[in-house]
Amino acid sequence: MAQQPHPTVQKAIERYVELELEIDRLCTARFAGTCIECGGLCCRANHAAMTLGSWWLRQVSVAAHGQWWPEDWATRQGCCAQTPTGCVLHAGRPVCCWSWLCEPLVRQCADVWEVVFYGFISELPGDVARLTPSLDLLQMSEGEIAAAADVLAARVELAHRMLAAGRVLLDPAAAQIDKHRVAMRLICQMPRILQPSVHQALLEKMTTWGWE
CA atoms within a 13 Å half-sphere pointing along the CA-CB vector of 72: 4
- Closer to ligand SF4 by CB, 83 or 141: give it: 83
Q: What is the DSSP string of 41-65?
A: TT--S-TTHHHHH-HHHHHHHHHHH
Minimum distance of ligand SF4 from residue 21's CB (angstroms):
14
Minimum distance of ligand SF4 from residue 170's CB (angstroms):
20
- Scanning the chain, the segments in alpha helix (DSSP H) are 7-31, 34-38, 49-53, 55-65, 103-106, 112-129, 142-147, 149-166, 176-189, 196-205
Mapped onto helix, strand or coil, the DSSP state of residue 190 is coil
Distance of CA 33 to the CA centre of its chain: 19
CB 193 within 8 A of CB 113: no
Q: Is residue 57 a contact residue for ligand SF4 (CB under 6 A)?
A: no
Minimum distance of ligand SF4 from residue 94's CB (angstroms):
6
Minimum distance of ligand SF4 from residue 20's CB (angstroms):
12
Which residue in 35, 131, 145, 159 binds ligand SF4 (CB under 6 A)?
35
Which residue in 6, 10, 38, 194 binds ligand SF4 (CB under 6 A)?
38
Residues 86, 140, 17: CA angle, nearest 5 degrees: 40
Minimum distance of ligand SF4 from residue 38's CB (angstroms):
3
Round to whole Å and give the CA distance between 201 and 115.
Answer: 7
- Closer to ligand SF4 by CB, 44 or 181: give it: 44
Which residue in 43, 62, 129, 183 binds ligand SF4 (CB under 6 A)?
43
Q: Is residue 60 a contact residue for ligand SF4 (CB under 6 A)?
A: no
Q: Is residue 82 a contact residue for ligand SF4 (CB under 6 A)?
A: yes
Residues 97-156 that bind ligand SF4 (CB under 6 A): 97, 100, 102, 104-105
Minimum distance of ligand SF4 from residue 161's CB (angstroms):
26
Contacts of 184-190 with C-beta under 8 Å, sequence gap 24+, read 186/116, 186/120, 186/162, 187/116, 189/162, 190/120, 190/123, 190/124, 190/127
Q: Is residue 34 a contact residue for ligand SF4 (CB under 6 A)?
A: yes
Task: Give the binding site for ligand SF4 (CB under 6 A).
Answer: 34-35, 38, 40-43, 47-48, 79, 81-82, 87, 89, 93-94, 97, 100, 102, 104-105
